[in-house]
Structure 1
Amino acid sequence: MSEVTLRMEPPLAWVLLNRPEKHNALTPSMADGLVEFLGRLSTDSDVRVVMLAGEGRSFCAGADVSRLAQFKPADAVRFHRKLNLVCWAIRSCMKPVVAVLHGYALGGGLEIAEWADIRIAADNAKIGQPEVNIGLNGGAGGTIMLPRLVGRGVASYLAMTGEIVDAQYALSVGLVDLVVDACSLMDKARELGLKLASKPPEALWAIKQALSRFDEMSSWAGLEYEASLFGHLFSEEETRRRFDEFLKR
């Protein structure tokens, strides 16, 4: 079974994280699949909007900790750089990308969503960047995009405490853009996608470029620095201890 699937509903395309039994926890192969689909859809003339969502009970609970725990520093950097490519594929996609959040949207899952153009969340979503609790910094551009969305103070609070917040708090600080009843999330997300698809694609692309141009001048350097920090932390005894504690729960 593919860990990332594609469902075409022209003018929408749904890119779906597909490890529901693991709350769609991220793996290197999932990162590869996301990059492949996003690259293909960017130039697909039948697609106006890309919808990024998760199968099952959650959008994405972050990276698969059971796999992370086996990483050496070089493995961690390689994985982070795969996630860097996902972030960049979302940012550089020629179509608007809408992240549809439900259940857990944590760690690398939330961080990927932060690179989307718009985030819509179910009212029962649990949102946060809890990597600090296992001795890590953000693993998918989180420390790059989070302060750009919510400001440095709120970003510091969320990243340094590892607090998991509800959708209404996320909305109040600008981390998500819309909150809807969980029962109607997919319908409301589809309505949003179709509304975007009704706009001139060239105008949407121009708006996306204009909004992101300034950030892109320094984002890649930031991603690379974050990757080096991520890898370094895998050499820390405290990180290993926290991995062990997490896996014994």
Structure 2
Amino acid sequence: MGHEFELRKEIELAATPEQVWAAIATGPGIDSWFMGHTEVDPREGGRNTFAMGGETEESTVTAWEPGKRFGYGTEPGPDGTFMAIEYLIEGRDQGSTVLHLVQSGVLGDNWESEYEAMRAGWGMYLGNLAAYVRHFPGRHSAQVAAFRPGAGEPDQVWAAVAGAFGISGQIVEGAPARLTLAGLPPIEGVVDLTGLPSYFGVRTDDALYRFLHSGTDRGSVLVLGHHLFGADVDQAQAERAWQDWVTQLPLD
């Protein structure tokens, strides 16, 4: 039996309403901080597409007020499940913006796990959005995704990831982070996102590196979702290098 839900989030962003709109209501903007690949049909009643992992989902634009309000939702499935998202943009003084997010719909039988995954996921992705509009406004990224199912318990996984970046002890924002991958330039940045035990992030001058643990009840998958803003990024090469890295990461 389906379970109705509503999830609300709010974040203040160091960007103008116009910059925030470009980030949340255009395909290239969304792809620069969110997962998968999104195409937006810019009109009320338009059809959006979201593609990830070989699957594509369509949604209908339910609200289109440039600079103010953007909403969309999927059609109900055979079991009645569906998802709707609405963003409200509120301009503030000194060029900042408050973004209000409401996600609602009907979840399936495993609704508690799904809801918790969405709640944690939005914490990371809104953190991505904040970093994107602050440090990379108007730029568009190449995405890199890699996965390691059955990675283990969160504490074990984060100790391994932090150790690979040269971080010992507690993971805190602002800590220096360095990593070398075969075939890619050295990575030197700072920890800029901490939501343990669910997620962890590093920012450099030209990238956002993001790591997410799915949770033990969702397969203990270590998910990598990076956004690379360099002008000469070889996306395929970077994806191979990161998949090799996460596959070989010592987790014992």
TM-score for the superposition, normalised by structure 2: 0.26
Structure of higher RCO (CA pairs closer than 8 Å, 6+ residues apart)? 1
Greater strand share, 1 or 2? Answer: 2
Greater helix share, 1 or 2? Answer: 1
TM-score for the superposition, normalised by structure 1: 0.27
Rg larger in structure: 2
